[in-house]
A and B are shown apart, each in its own frame.
Chain A
Amino acid sequence: MKYLFFLILPLILSTIGCSQKKLSERDRQLQDQQQANDLKKAELSPIAGEYIGELTGANDYRQTIRLSLEVRDVPESDGKPDAILIPKLLGTLRFYFGELDSPEFIDAPVRSSEYIKARDQLSLVLEHVQFKEMVITGIADGTSITGSWNAASLGVSGAIRVQRRNP
């Protein structure tokens, strides 16, 4: 009977060994990516939200705006078979005419963004048929975004200052 134990023990050990097989390169990369994404999401989440404020500089006019940002997973395949979901701050910049929340507004979607946590630096690229592309760069600290904007196709630029709506 005690010989039977010594016969079964290696069998059990080999079975356990097989079940703890090392991850493949692809799986390891995906896992690393997932961890990086989780970190990025944690960085971006405090910046997401709704901001109100104004945009100045164009035609000496103070334009009331509302900037809505949310973290979205944007698939980026980069030519590889596995599309990677990259968290990005996307949303809408709403230009109000008249009072805030008036029904007179025009929306410009945020097409892409970049946020560098170390410097609190946020860059947004918006697009709209009226100005093609607008680039906003500023400092985002979670409660406000202050910086500048530029619409190269119109040759106009100015300042932007928004405050979180419901801090």
Chain B
Amino acid sequence: MTFTKRLILTSLVWLSFGGPLALADSSIQGTYQAVLDHDAKAYYQFAIVTLRTVNSGNGNLKISANVRIYFGDLNSNEFLSYEYPDCPMNILTRQISLKNDNFDVSFIGYLKEGELSGDWYSPAVGRVGKFTASKIAMPPVPSGFELVKSVTGHYIGKLTNTNPNSSLPETVTISLVTTQDSTIAGGIKVSGNMRFYLGELGSTEYIETPFQTVDFNFYNRYITAKTERYGIAIKGNLELNGVLSGNVFADGLGMVGTIEARGQ
């Protein structure tokens, strides 16, 4: 038998036995690039899932995870980070769950050959949508879906006075900035300011006040912001498409108007 025939025969025997017994990327631990879909609203987010494994020595494997969900693109510094100390995975079905009672986001999916896919959930909306993650490359984004915008941005809009006792300037801009803060829940602090233009937008005649507090829930998208001066508060929603809409309140007058501003 020639060397070539022997080589072919050996390869066939090897392949018939299943080829390589395991692919290098079929290990569990590693960093997975992920795309999270918001099925109901046709938006998506990027995320980084890090899985860690520890063999406890008695034949059991403990899996822990960290999930970093980005707002904006993958280079954005606006992200929420979740830690899952124990992620049970069934060895036969390959079903894995990333859940933590302290967090409002959970992932249930299947892990095989370096790919993790399934559904993700939040108490605010229940099932948010599908997610796919891969160790090899960023999964394709769903067609027709838009990227969830970051909260950080400059919002230009109109304030409409609805209270006869209120005559707030109606051209407004809002600037919001997020910073990572490990001392607060969720890890993101939102700050910013509000500018009231007395004349047209962009003129030098304006009144500006920073926000004293900005509370923003990244999942139900509810925002509450109170200015440091003039006692003005905004309560509304900052939608995934970057449109902020809500009601405006003033100390002593109650609700004074509505606001709608769009992120630039």
Chain B residues 91-115 with CB under 8 Å of chain A are: 91-94, 110, 112-113
Closest to A103 in B: B55
The segment from A8-16, A23-31, A90-98, A111-119 found at the interface with B is: A90-98
Chain A residues 96-147 with CB under 8 Å of chain B are: 96-100, 102-108, 128, 130-131, 134
Instruction: State whether A64 touches B28 (Cβ < 8 A).
Output: no
Q: Which residues of B contact A60 (CB under 8 A)?
A: 112
Instruction: State whether B22 touches A99 (Cβ < 8 A).
Output: yes
Instruction: State whether B110 touches A59 (Cβ < 8 A).
Output: yes
* Residue of B27, B61, B92, B94 most packed against chain A (CB within 10 A): B92
* Interface of chain A: mostly helix, strand, loop or mixed: strand
Please judge, given known A-B contacts A104-B27, A106-B61, whether A131 and B21 are in contact too, CB under 8 Å.
Answer: no
Least CB distance, A96 to chain B, in whole angstroms:
6
Give complex CA distance A94, B59 in Å. Answer: 8
Instruction: State whether A151 touches B26 (Cβ < 8 A).
Output: no
Least CB distance, B30 to chain A, in whole angstroms:
9
A103, A104, A105, A131: the one within 8 Å of B90 (CB) = A131
Q: Which residues of B contact A105 (CB under 8 A)?
A: 55, 59, 61
Give complex CA distance A131, B92 in Å. Answer: 8
Q: Is B202 an interface residue (CB 8 A)?
A: no
Q: Which residues of A contact B40 (CB under 8 A)?
A: none
Instruction: State whether A98 touches B92 (Cβ < 8 A).
Output: no
Instruction: State whether A98 touches B24 (Cβ < 8 A).
Output: yes
Closest to A100 in B: B21
Least CB distance, B91 to chain A, in whole angstroms:
5
Give complex CA distance A95, B21 in Å. Answer: 12
Q: Which residues of A contact B26 (CB under 8 A)?
A: 64, 97-98
Closest to A96 in B: B22
Q: Which residues of A contact B18 (CB under 8 A)?
A: 53-54, 62, 161
Give complex CA distance A101, B254 in Å. Answer: 69
B55, B58, B92, B93: the one within 8 Å of A104 (CB) = B55
Closest to A64 in B: B22
Q: Is A84 an interface residue (CB 8 A)?
A: no
Please judge, given known A-B contacts A104-B55, A107-B59, A161-B18, whether A131 and B91 are in contact too, CB under 8 Å.
Answer: yes
12 contacts between A and B (CB under 8 A): A52-B21, A54-B21, A59-B94, A59-B110, A60-B112, A64-B26, A97-B61, A99-B21, A99-B22, A99-B24, A104-B55, A106-B60
The residues of A with any CB-CB pair to B shorter than 8 Å are 52-54, 58-64, 92, 94-100, 102-108, 128, 130-131, 134, 151, 154, 156, 161, 163
